[in-house]
Amino acid sequence: MRAYLPAYELTVPRTLGDALALLRDEPGAWRPFAGGTDLMVLLEAGKLDHRKFFSVAKLAELRGIEESDGHVTLGALTSYSDVRRSEVLSREFPMLERAASETGGLAIQNRGTLGGNIANASPAADSPPALLVYGAEVELVSTEGPRWVEYADFHTGYKQTVMRADELISRVRLPRPIEGARHFYRKVGTRRAQAISKVCMAALAETDKGGAFAKVRIALGSVAPVVLRCRRTEELLKGRRPDEALIRDARAALAEDISPIDDIRSTARYRTRVAQNLLAEFLSEVALD
User: Does the pLDDT of residue 78 top 90, yes or no?
Assistant: yes
pLDDT digits (tens, 9 = 90+) for 140-155: 999 999 999 999 999 9
Determine how β-strand 30-33 pairs with β-strand 52-55: parallel
pLDDT category at 47 given cuts 50, 70, 90 is confident
User: Does the pLDDT of residue 212 top 60, yes or no?
Assistant: yes
Are 37 and 191 a contacting pair, CB within 8 Å? Answer: no
Three-state secondary structure call for residue 15: coil
Residue 236 backbone dihedrals phi, psi, to 5 degrees: -60, -40
pLDDT of residue 192: 79
pLDDT of residue 289: 78
Q: CB neighbours of 133 closer than 8 A, spacing ≥ 6? A: 95, 202, 203, 204, 217, 218, 219, 229
Q: Residue 50, Cβ neighbours under 10 Å: how many?
A: 15
Q: How far is CA 279 from the centre of its chain?
A: 19
pLDDT category at 46 given cuts 50, 70, 90 is confident
Residue 176 DSSP class: P
pLDDT of residue 7: 81
pLDDT of residue 158: 95
pLDDT of residue 12: 96
Please tell me the distance from the alpha carbon of residue 249 to that of residue 170, in angstroms, as a whole number.
Answer: 41
Are 197 and 187 a contacting pair, CB within 8 Å? Answer: yes
Residue 58 backbone dihedrals phi, psi, to 5 degrees: -90, 5
Residue 96 backbone dihedrals phi, psi, to 5 degrees: -70, -40
In percent, the amount of the chain with pLDDT more than 70 equals 98
pLDDT of residue 2: 53
pLDDT digits (tens, 9 = 90+) for 180-210: 999 999 999 988 778 889 999 999 999 999 9
pLDDT of residue 4: 53
CA distances from residue 200 to 7, 19, 29, 104 in whole angstroms, order as listed: 38, 34, 34, 14
pLDDT category at 49 given cuts 50, 70, 90 is confident
Stretch 31-51: mean pLDDT:
80
User: Does the pLDDT of residue 120 top 60, yes or no?
Assistant: yes
Structural domains of the chain sorted by starting position, each given as residue range(s) with its CATH number in brackets: 9-55 (3.30.43), 61-175 (3.30.465.10), 182-288 (3.30.390.50)
Give one DSSP letter per residue of 135-199, joined into a string. Answer: T-EEEEEETTEEEEEEGGGTEEETTEES--TT-EEEEEEEEPPPTT-EEEEEEEESSSSS--EEE
User: Does the pLDDT of residue 105 top 60, yes or no?
Assistant: yes
pLDDT category at 248 given cuts 50, 70, 90 is very high
Residue 113 DSSP class: B
Are 80 and 66 a contacting pair, CB within 8 Å? Answer: no
Q: How far is CA 249 from the centre of its chain?
A: 28
Which ranges constitute the DSSP H helices of the chain? 16-25, 37-45, 80-85, 87-92, 94-101, 106-111, 114-120, 128-133, 231-237, 244-257, 268-288
pLDDT digits (tens, 9 = 90+) for 56-75: 999 999 999 999 999 999 99
pLDDT of residue 274: 98
